[in-house]
Amino acid sequence: MIVYAESNFTLELAFLRPQSDSCEALARLAESGAIQLVIPAFCGGEPYESMVRRSKDRKSVRDQLTAEISELSRSAPYSNITQTAQTIIAILSRSVIEEKSRLDDTLLRLTKLARMIPLTSDVLAASLTYQTQFPLSPQDAIVLASITADLESVEPGLEKLFVTQNTSDFLNPDILELMSAYGCKLLFRFDNAIGYVKSRG
């Protein structure tokens, strides 16, 4: 079975989000050769964009908190608050470094166990059509165009599954119909995906 995934699969694994156990199970099946995990190469960069946004947000929160604590500590009732707040400030700072390291490790692992769909001129051209046809954001259109390009080259007898948490964009009757035309099932939870894969095993 071929299992297509995108950026939210990487983020779930790297940041240990609620469905990371199911993503880990899928990754291990790919490592063992039980399934073929396929990810658009474009999705290698998207998780870093998400991480950079998160890092900026946390730095802003940390700076605001530091300023507020400094102001509060000037008042006698709160003179000891600086020591108490240092733990939270340190966690905010450390989390940025730790998440970058986990994301690096996860992407390196995925390059070894997954097949990457190249971002070609044909994929980009198809993505422009998908932006208006469905409609989709440029990023989501590239993901969909990458997957449909790969589906066109897959032998018909293979089972195919695309799993994404992005219901706001991909839970669309027209996209479901498109995936069905390629014989590709579309699921929106990694928990459901691992259950489906195991049921077909």
Q: What is the pLDDT of residues 12-64, one digit of tens each?
A: 999 999 999 999 999 999 999 999 999 999 998 877 777 777 778 878 888 88
State CA 47 to chain mean position distance.
6
Q: Determine the pLDDT at residue 10.
A: 95
Nearest residue to 146 via CA among 174, 166, 121, 114: 121
* Distance spanning both ends of the chain, measured CA to CA: 9
pTM of the model: 0.84
Query: How many residues are present in the chain?
Result: 201
Q: Crossing angle of helices 81-113/46-72, nearest 10°?
A: 170
Q: Report the pLDDT value the prediction gives residue 60, as an integer from 0 to 100.
A: 84
Per-residue pLDDT for 156 more than 90? no
pLDDT number for residue 57: 80
Structure-token pair, residue 25: 């199970």
pLDDT digits (tens, 9 = 90+) for 76-132: 787 788 777 888 888 888 888 888 899 999 999 999 999 999 999 999 999 999 999
DSSP alpha helix (H) spans, the chain: 7-14, 20-32, 46-72, 81-113, 121-133, 138-151, 167-170, 173-181, 190-199
Query: For residues 104 and 82, what is the distance between their CA atoms, to the nearest angstrom?
Result: 33
**CA–CA gap between residue 91 and residue 72 (Å, rounded):** 20
The matching CATH number, chosen from 3.20.20.140, 3.40.50.1010, 3.40.50.12160, 3.40.50.720, for 2-46+108-199 is 3.40.50.1010
So what's the pLDDT on residue 83?
A: 76
